[in-house]
Amino acid sequence: MASPGFFSFGRFWPPFQGQGGMRQQLDPSAHTMKSHGSALARKHVRDWLILLLLIVIEIVLFVIHPFKRFVGRDMMEDIRYPMKENTVPVWAVPLYAVLLPMAVFLLFYMRRRCVYDLHHSILGLLFAVLITGVFTDAIKNAVGRPRPDFFWRCFPDGVENYDRWGGVVCHGNASDIKEGHKSFPSGHTSWSFAGLGFLSLYLSGKIKAFDRKGHVAKLCIVFLPLLVACLVAISRVDDYWHHWQDVFAGGILGLVVATFCYMQFFPPPYNDEGWGPYAYFRAMEESRTNPIINRESPVGQAMEERVTNQEPRRNGDTFTPYSYHSPTLEAMEMGQK
């Protein structure tokens, strides 16, 4: 049986209680899509436009031909591996590297109703994946390293042909030859570590994996997405689509970009406030420093409803509208006093 506080979800998930059954209370400090979604979208409209620009750049990089690196007769020994199908198809990468993390983000939103967390996690994830994709394809086109199966892409019938300098004269399918010059770095690997690495950072903050309480089992949850990314990387070598240096560089690239993008919106997972985005804490600080809340707003109406339906505690006191506490807010209160 897990010890109390093993998974400290209760600190940021709203309580479920009520008389005669279980019902969810409306938390006036929640920031939902209805109450804050439109304002948040307008605030970050430039970020979403930049994402569209990254998509256009990624399409252009995918279409253009990579650098046609010299491939000589003496090099064929290392790039003569057989052509195989992908163990992990290309269409599956967005499913587990983008849609799966988004599904996890939605689950947390359904429980906590924080649009800041949902918006920033999705925005950070998309930035991590698209920036990684642009870096990966730009490097691929610039390097033009042949894949391990380049021989059979160049000479599908096994008949070799070289020019007077000893360079290959390919007569295979043009698309296969073009793809054969895109070995370094591995796109599957970089995308996997970008998306699943971001998810790993997100989960480590949400379950407080670094709360110094010694619950090593939390690390199993944190490492699980990274394990999946590692297996994808290994499959690229096993399928002879990449050299081991390609997947190593792709993994490092994806993790570094994911970390930078995550830190733009969330505190480090080992931070006491690592479970929530910066924007949430700023909103809570503004709520405390500005006690006058618009009664017509959803938040103001929720506060009135909760105060009206407040339930007494054991010592006779009543619930206060805000039950959130953080080191930052406590420090502000001490300064005001």
The answer to whether 126 touches 54, Cβ cutoff 8 Å, is: no
Among residues 98, 130, 115, 134, which one has the least CA distance to residue 44?
115
Consecutive H or E run containing 58: helix 45-63
Residue 146 DSSP SS3: coil
**Distance of alpha carbon 241 from alpha carbon 145, whole angstroms:** 11
Question: What is the DSSP code string of 159-175?
Answer: ---B-TTSBB---S-HH
Cβ-Cβ contacts under 8 Å for 13 (sequence gap 6 or more): 111, 112
The first and second tokens of residue 159, run together, are 């008949």
Task: Output the tens digit of pLDDT for each of the chain's 337 residues.
Answer: 444 444 444 444 443 333 333 334 444 455 665 655 566 677 778 999 999 999 999 999 999 999 999 999 888 888 999 999 999 999 999 999 999 999 999 998 888 777 888 888 999 999 999 999 999 999 999 999 999 999 999 999 989 998 988 899 999 899 999 999 999 999 999 999 999 999 999 999 888 888 888 788 888 999 999 999 999 999 999 999 999 999 999 999 999 999 999 999 898 888 877 777 876 777 677 667 765 544 444 444 444 444 444 444 444 444 444 444 455 555 544 544 4
Q: Active-site positions? A: 188, 242
Answer left, alpha or beta for residue 282, where phi above 0 means left and psi between -120 and 50 means alpha: alpha
Q: Can you give the residue ranges of every domain in the chain? A: 36-279
CA 329/CA 337 separation, integer angstroms: 13
Q: Residue 25: which of 296, 280, 295, 305 has the closest Cα?
A: 305
Contact 177, 149 (CB under 8 A): no
